[in-house]
Structure 1
Amino acid sequence: MADAASHSGPLHVAIIMDGNGRWATAKGLPRVAGHREGAKAVRRAIEAAVTNGVRYLTLFAFSSENWQRPAGEVQDLTFLLKHYLRSELAELHAEGVQLKVIGERERFGPALAKELEEAERKTANNKRLTLVLALSYGGRAEIVAAARRAITAGMKPEDLTEQNFSDFLFTAGIPDPDLVIRTSGEQRVSNFLLWQLAYAEIWFTKVLWPDFCAQHFAMALEDYAGRERRFGARPI
């Protein structure tokens, strides 16, 4: 990877990686082929994030709704996740990438959940980029789980604030995304980081995820740079 540029853009970029299946269908290929190509786009996105000085990159890799897909496709996605973790972890670690996983990882079974935990532990001290993988993740479920954790921790309703509630989310300690990218032309957030995206800028592109490259990443950053972020305040 190239060295990170000095930070002048978004600190945290989140991506809804959409269009793998449509990419494969358009080429007359099985859907798993699209997911394989999508994994290559993940590598390009990580490299682009580092090059552009992004410090946090969150990828919506597997939603809680994805479990409703045909069993064969779920199996393919799970296999690709295992393959990616085993084939890429050493290089990501060597390049200073810290891995964090948010979501209900236990749904993937104890063996894979343990691998994910070990990957987090191995890369915990890396500082170049924090790569957050949202796996078996749903925004509403995260908020409900956070509320339950707050109750279990003994929080009194009158003591609960937006700030300390964030400490119970999967993303505790991670700054909210500044920019969200969604590929494939769809224009919705699809139950992704519902709490954290309150004031994020959103950039939509018709490019299917397997075709997403550094140029598209740069286009999103350029568009972001031209926006005025007001965080709910009225313009002066």
Structure 2
Amino acid sequence: MNAHQFLARLQQGYDFNTTHRIFSQSGFSSCWKQWLTLELASVLASDSNIEQLETDVFYPAPNERQQALEQAQEKSQTKTQKKPQISDKKSPEANEKNNEKAIDKTFVETGFLRVQNGGDVSVTTRKTSASRCDFAFKQKEQSYFFELRCSHTDTYTKQKDLNKCLADIERINALKAANPELEIACLFAIYGVLTPQDTKALSLLDNNQFCSYALDPNLTGSSSISRLAHVKHSGKPRLILGMYSA
């Protein structure tokens, strides 16, 4: 997933002045995440190329059954090409059904991914223990998953929320490693006055190991999207939307 392109899409389709009115009210902090999730989802819903936009979507485990079936079909086709065709041999449809029966004895129903304590990822068929994202959508047969964290710059001086954001990055990297077909991203909505100390602290999420981008809605043109560690500090409170894509 291209973080720069996704942030540019949001910038073109959403009036971020609305976020200032909500995030400037500290009494609303407990519902910042839910509110912004719906706001961003409303922008994406207006795109005719996006399908199945949902919230609280479980991360699917790799479809091992389908992978095994495809491998069996390729193996069967290779054998057929090497041997001369004989009229009394089973039809391709019959061979395919036999492959499915054999594979069904080996693989259970594809389940969901679960991030355990310590960062290990396992597969579970129980939704009650499965990991899920905040919202997801499908575009051109590819599913995209997003996790969102909202916070105030005041908490960054204590490294409290920064460490949570770092844990989010490590979490989606683990999910991506468990199922490489997943397209997952973390969104970081950071509100407040960004001091030089704050922008320096953001390098924890954007460095030679992690590549994160940021949208500054107060700026226009190409300068509005930059690397997260390079966002401009300012004496006025504003929202910065960061993004890391696994």
Q: Compare CA radii of gyration and give the structure with the larger one.
A: 2
What's the TM-score, normalizing by structure 2?
0.31
Give 1 or 2: higher strand fraction: 2
